[in-house]
């Protein structure tokens, strides 16, 4: 299917993964994703992409992560996440750190906050939102190519969605590794494109 048909605004929703102040912004306590996002200029490109999508009638769904102070609802089953859970200031529920970056947030956007795992579909309202929006294609953006964007892609495909990734609106760390993930894991599983290509279609 050609890209223009695949990302028809009537059936396309944008998913933004963990572009939060405490993950990639001014309150981040782990530098990897934040450094990659800054190096690649991801915030500005996501902002332009989201603005164009909203103007074309699509919705942006922010998939966010946070932790309760008592850590209920979160699992210590992955070394990376377990280490983050030991830091009481890492994206607490209801804190400024859990907020979506102001440059990417619009009052009409949706948000699904999860307390567990590294990808947004399991035991969250994400799929219900997509179904109610009659979504067929999801456009995945944000961080990170190390884990979360891979998770969105596999879970989305497993649920019957086509997944499109603008490769200049996602980041991994180190950045060279992110490129390897795009080339060796996500190419073929998803449709890779660019922010400019999508904006031209939606203009």
Residue 41, pLDDT score = 98
Distance CA 92, CA 65 (A): 9
**Phi and psi of 15, rounded to 5°?**
-110, 125
Which pLDDT tens digit goes with each residue over 160-187? 999 999 999 999 999 999 999 999 999 9
Q: How many domains does the chain have?
A: 1
Distance CA 116, CA 121 (A): 11
Residue 120's domain comprises 3-202
Residue 2 reports pLDDT greater than 80 = yes
Tell me the angle at which helices 31-40 and 42-55 cross, rounded to the nearest 10 degrees. 70
Locate tokens 């996002």: which residue? 37
Domain containing residue 152: CATH number: 3.40.50.850
Which pLDDT tens digit goes with each residue over 7-49? 999 999 999 999 999 999 999 998 899 999 999 999 999 999 9
3-class state of residue 69 by DSSP: coil
Tokens of residue 107, six digits:
């009052």
Which pLDDT tens digit goes with each residue over 80-125? 777 777 788 889 999 999 999 999 999 999 999 999 998 999 999 9
Residue 71 reports pLDDT greater than 90 = no
Q: Which residues contact 182 (CB under 8 A, 6 or more apart)?
A: 145, 165, 167, 170, 192
Residue 85, pLDDT score = 77
Tell me the angle at which helices 42-55 and 195-202 cross, rounded to the nearest 10 degrees. 20
Distance CA 79, CA 82 (A): 5
> Model confidence at 134, in pLDDT bands (50, 70, 90)?
very high
Q: Which pTM value belongs to this model?
A: 0.95
Maximal C-alpha separation, the chain = 48
Residue 75, pLDDT score = 83
Beta bridge partners of 14: 60, 139
Residue 61 exposure: Cα atoms within 13 Å on the Cβ side: 26
């Amino acid at each position: 299917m050609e890209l223009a048909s695949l990302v028809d605004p009537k059936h396309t929703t944008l998913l933004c993964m963990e572009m939060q102040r405490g993950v990639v912004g001014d309150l981040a306590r782990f530098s990897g994703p934040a450094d990659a996002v800054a190096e690649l200029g991801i915030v500005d490109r996501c902002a332009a992409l989201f603005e164009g999508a909203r103007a074309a009638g699509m919705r942006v769904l922010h998939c966010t992560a946070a932790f309760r102070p008592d850590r209920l609802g979160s699992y210590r089953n992955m070394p990376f996440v377990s280490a983050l859970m030991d830091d009481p200031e890492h994206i607490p529920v209801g804190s400024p750190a859990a907020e979506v970056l102001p440059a990417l947030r619009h009052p009409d956007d949706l948000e699904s906050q999860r307390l567990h795992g590294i990808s947004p579909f399991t035991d969250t309202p994400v799929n219900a939102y997509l179904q109610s929006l009659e979504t067929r294609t999801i456009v995945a953006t944000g961080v990170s190519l190390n884990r979360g964007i891979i998770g969105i892609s596999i879970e989305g495909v497993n649920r019957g969605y086509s997944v499109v990734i603008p490769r200049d609106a996602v980041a991994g760390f180190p950045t060279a590794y992110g490129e390897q993930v795009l080339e060796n894991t996500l190419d073929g599983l998803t449709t890779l494109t660019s922010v400019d290509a999508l904006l031209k279609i939606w203009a």
